[in-house]
Chains A and B, each alone.
Chain A
Amino acid sequence: MSTVLQNLVNQPYKHGFVTEIESEVAPKGLNEDTIRMISAKKNEPEWLLKFRLDAYKKWLTMTAPEWQNVKYPTIDLQAISYYAAPKPKKKLASMDEVDPELLRTFEKLGVPMHERAALAGVAVDVVFDSVSVATTYKGKLAEVGIIFCSISEAVQDHPELVKQYLGKVVPVGDNYYAALNSAVFTDGSFCFIPKGVKCPMDLSTYFRINTEGSGQFERTLIIAEDDSSVSYLEGCTAPQFDTNQLHAAVVELIAMDNADIKYSTVQNWYAGDENGVGGIYNFVTKRGLAKGVNSRISWTQVETGAAITWKYPSCILRGDNSVGEFYSVAVTNNYQQADTGTKMIHIGKNTRSTIVSKGISAGHSNSSYRGLVRITPTADGARNYSQCDSMLIGDQCGAHTFPYIQVKNNSAQVEHEASTSKIGEEQLFYFAQRGIDAEEAVSMIINGFCKDVFQQLPMEFAVEATKLLSFKLEGSVG
């Protein structure tokens, strides 16, 4: 391993800065009063408060899971503030009224909303800390009947939809962090695609964690009715902090007959410094329900940040002929830890699923693929193909695979393949012969390694992901 690569890997986090905006922060700690306070602040209906309190009661009976292949100090959940919102201001009519400081933050992140919106036709629902402050293109989407807003708005404007679907895919007591999220979630995105509508543009949300010490509990709910389709992008960056921040989001997707949901994530949160100090804990529950016949749910993720990433975007394939897909690239460096993968639960007949997972570890990091493919007795003719490859850069890192395959139907066909490799001297030599330096060679090899996944990303994300990967690993090989 050469020093060139070392230097490349160890580039400082480029998005580390704190925006100084006055925040309204709830006192630290979690109890029923905190939940009532959040609910009251957000002017929520009675049923939602009950939903939160039920979740809280369930959560009290649960303990934090320990089976995952990651190590971290116990999180003191009472030391977290469960609500932080930029001070409420008068309604914004245009982008000009948005806090200039906030706009500058996005500028630094390279998210020029208006420009991007105009050029790429992307509607950005910006979640800054926990409250949605600006939503663009809402009108255009409303024309075709699409509802795309923050979940708190949805609770006010479309309570019947939220009530009908919230917690249906990820029940309140699903797991420790999902229960916590259900009790205290502050905001997130809501998206409803009505019958027969193909969403005319990619929907996108930028998440930022801003106030130090505030846990973020996002809640995303996407519903695609019969014959509709949507592509949703989620991107993350966070400023540099020393104390670990917890992020326990819940994402629920529901696809009805013939509906198609594509959910893409690029995650680049603060991963801690080169000694593993600080960084975000990213404990996320993501699950899609392919409820209708011929429905399709596709998860694509590029995980490059966070001190600990721990998530398993899953598909429950209930409708006959439904399709689940999972494409993932997870890059870990320094002392980062990632335990990620997917669950494919085949229930309907002729359901199909594809899993492609690429893990790249460098430095002292560890990355694990943990996946479950379950074929239930009713899933006649189910088909699964899984491939998970790991690449190790350096001899201090680890790559692990834990695939669970459970088959209870003999007409099913399940295949799993995994391999581990490293960037070979010969490969680098080959590139050198052709006048390509080590740094660029590594970048090319890695991009080739991840090609299967990047192909699944929407155009602008693919470009961003490629860049992200090369600067994440800058200096780690040689």
Chain B
Amino acid sequence: MKPVTSSNHYLERLLQTWSKPSPNTLPWLKQLQVGALDCVNTLRMPTLRDEEWRFTDISSLTKLPFPVVSNPSSLQLSDIEAYCLQEAATRIVFVDGQYAPQLSCVDSDVVAGNLLSLSCAYEEEIAQHIGQHIDSKDNVFAALNTAFLQDSAIVMVPCNTTITAPIHLLFIATQQEVSSYPRCLIIAQSGSKATIVEDYVALQAANYLTNTVSEISIAANGQLNHVRVQRESRQAFHIANCNVSLARASNYHSVSVALGAAISRVNLNVALTDEGAECTVNGLALISEQQLADSHTFIDHIKPHCSSNQQHKCIVGGTAHAVFNGRIMVRPNAQQTDSKQSSRNLLLTDKAHVDTKPQLEIFADDVKCAHGATVGQLDDEEIFYLRSRGLSEIAARDLLVYAFGAEIIEQITINSLKQQLKQSILEYTKHSE
């Protein structure tokens, strides 16, 4: 791969691999793609000079314009067994950004699949939502994703339906030096209830880019439990944009866990668009070596009587770098807002570092808003307490790190995934010694 020098050159090279939508593409989809392409052409790659990217240096990414996968790997069920969740009745699998029907299965209660197969039967609903919850105008990665949008994972939870088994959206990376543009559209119709796992995994240690966009719409009284797990290869780049829109009295609960990737960046935007909406947004970044995990969240209180609760934790070892930017906006007239935010960061080595910015913007007076942030290392007194009970210093440290991370993991309701992630923390503590 020939490295490129300027970031505009990077976009040029990426767009060279862009192919015109085929003639039988749906007209509204074609329009969406071309519109996004126009957006890309007006934008440039962000640098450290941009406020939104001032702590996350993606210059290493902009040197490598990975092309889209041309020949997707064909995998067997046995190849991905380790990543399947036993509780999940519905599983939608994408390999290197391409739908893999042979690995997927769908439960009859829910409408799930890929865009191409569902676009006939549900064209109206899909067209109404896809590309509508994300703004490509000043977000070059979202614009790129939409420009390269060929297929998408789609989940529609019908009205007043409760889906107890989790729905697993699995995105697998198998190839070196490629870009993939996964896309998810989740529509929770009014009064519905479901749990969705959005899972990014790699089958080998490889250098590639995942640029993903998820759009989630929750209608009135809907409840959605969203678990996002990013366990990409340690050399990969992972850029994600997730936009959630909540209608009246709906509820969104999310846990986002970042374990992998050399550089990962997640933008999670939650819009509370009507009264009585509630969201809980939790996150954990568990990183070491030279990893960088960046999480930008934006919770927008647009209407009165909404509440939000956010807890974000980072465990940083090696020479890793964690970034958290949590913005909470309370719009004029969004009275009776109740918003809590906390950012807690644990630095395990003297080379690890963290940049955190919990940010409040409040335009209404009758609100309760509080945020807090802490950065520190393990408490000597806590270690002493455990040692006085006979634990070795190392065991005491491991236990405290585990407990710090487990507080977030515990909120995941899927047992097998919870165990897998807890295991990841245990392994992390072993490696970081």
Which residues of A does B touch, CB under 8 Å?
A: 67, 375, 377, 390, 392-422
Contact = CB atoms under 8 A, between A and B. Distances in A.
B350 A420 contact: no
Nearest to A383: B376
Nearest to A419: B370
B372 A409 contact: no
B367 A420 contact: yes
Contacts of B361: 398, 400-401
A392 B354 CA distance: 31
Interface string B221-259: 000000000000000000000000000000000000000
9 contacts: A377-B350, A390-B362, A397-B363, A399-B360, A400-B362, A401-B358, A410-B350, A412-B375, A420-B360
Contacts of A420: 360, 362, 367-370
A407 B347 contact: yes
A165 to B, nearest CB: 32
Contact of B375 (A392, A402, A414, A421): A414
A392 B353 contact: no
Given A395-B332, A402-B359, A418-B360, A410 B369 contact: no
A209 to B, nearest CB: 32
B119 interface: no
B373 A396 contact: no
Nearest to A389: B370
B335 interface: yes
Contacts of B356: 405
B220 interface: no
A410 B352 contact: yes
B118 interface: no
Contact of B357 (A392, A405, A412): A405
B333 to A, nearest CB: 7
A336 B353 CA distance: 37
B332 A408 contact: no
B374 A415 contact: yes
A44 to B, nearest CB: 37
Given A399-B362, A417-B372, A404 B348 contact: no
Contacts of A396: 332
Nearest to A377: B350
A400 B374 CA distance: 19
Given A67-B51, A406-B353, A413 B375 contact: yes
Of B51, B348, B376, which is in contact with the most chain A CB atoms at under 10 Å from its CB?
A: B376
Nearest to B329: A400
B138 interface: no
Contacts of B109: none
Which 4 A-B pairs have CB atoms at the shortest separation, nearest pair first? A410-B347, A392-B365, A408-B353, A416-B373
B366 interface: yes
B371 interface: yes
Nearest to B367: A420
A425 to B, nearest CB: 10
A74 B191 CA distance: 51
Nearest to B373: A416
Given A407-B345, A414-B373, A420-B369, A401 B359 contact: yes
B377 interface: yes
Given A406-B353, A412-B376, A413-B376, A393 B365 contact: yes
Contacts of A398: 361-363
Contact of A395 (B51, B333, B348, B370): B333
A379 B369 CA distance: 32
Given A377-B350, A403-B359, A418 B335 contact: no
B349 to A, nearest CB: 6
Given A377-B351, A398-B363, A414-B373, 9 more contacts: A390-B362, A400-B359, A404-B355, A405-B355, A410-B349, A410-B352, A416-B372, A416-B373, A420-B368
Secondary structure of the B side of the interface?
strand
A418 B362 contact: no
Given A406-B353, A407-B353, A410-B348, A394 B365 contact: yes
Contacts of B345: 407
B365 A395 contact: yes
B374 A395 contact: no
A403 B376 contact: no
A405 B349 contact: no
Contact of B358 (A397, A403, A414): A403
Interface in B43-89: 51, 55
Nearest to B359: A402
A475 to B, nearest CB: 16
B78 to A, nearest CB: 43
Given A400-B360, A420-B362, A414 B374 contact: yes
A213 B125 CA distance: 61
Contacts of B368: 420-421
A301 B361 CA distance: 23
Contacts of B159: none
Nearest to A401: B360
A140 to B, nearest CB: 47
Nearest to A391: B365
A417 B370 CA distance: 7
Contacts of B350: 377, 409-411
A353 to B, nearest CB: 13
A395 B332 CA distance: 7
Nearest to B369: A420
A61 B114 CA distance: 54
Given A405-B373, A410-B352, A415-B374, A395 B362 contact: no
B364 interface: yes
A422 B360 contact: no
A52 B355 CA distance: 36
B1 to A, nearest CB: 33
B375 A397 contact: no
A407 B366 contact: no
Interface in B27-51: 51
Contacts of A375: 375
A394 B364 CA distance: 8
B292 to A, nearest CB: 14
Nearest to A371: B357
A401 B327 CA distance: 9
Contact of B371 (A401, A407, A413): A401
Contacts of A407: 345, 347, 353-355, 375
B333 A418 contact: no
Contacts of A410: 347-350, 352, 376-377
A117 B365 CA distance: 43
A404 B324 CA distance: 10
Contacts of B355: 404-407
A418 B369 CA distance: 8
Nearest to A373: B375
A245 B355 CA distance: 37
B51 A392 contact: no
A400 B331 CA distance: 12
Contacts of B353: 406-408
Nearest to B51: A67
A67 B54 CA distance: 13
A478 B99 CA distance: 62
A52 to B, nearest CB: 29
B82 to A, nearest CB: 34
Contacts of A415: 372-374
A366 to B, nearest CB: 8
Given A395-B332, A422-B365, A414 B376 contact: yes
Contacts of A397: 363, 365
Contacts of B374: 413-416
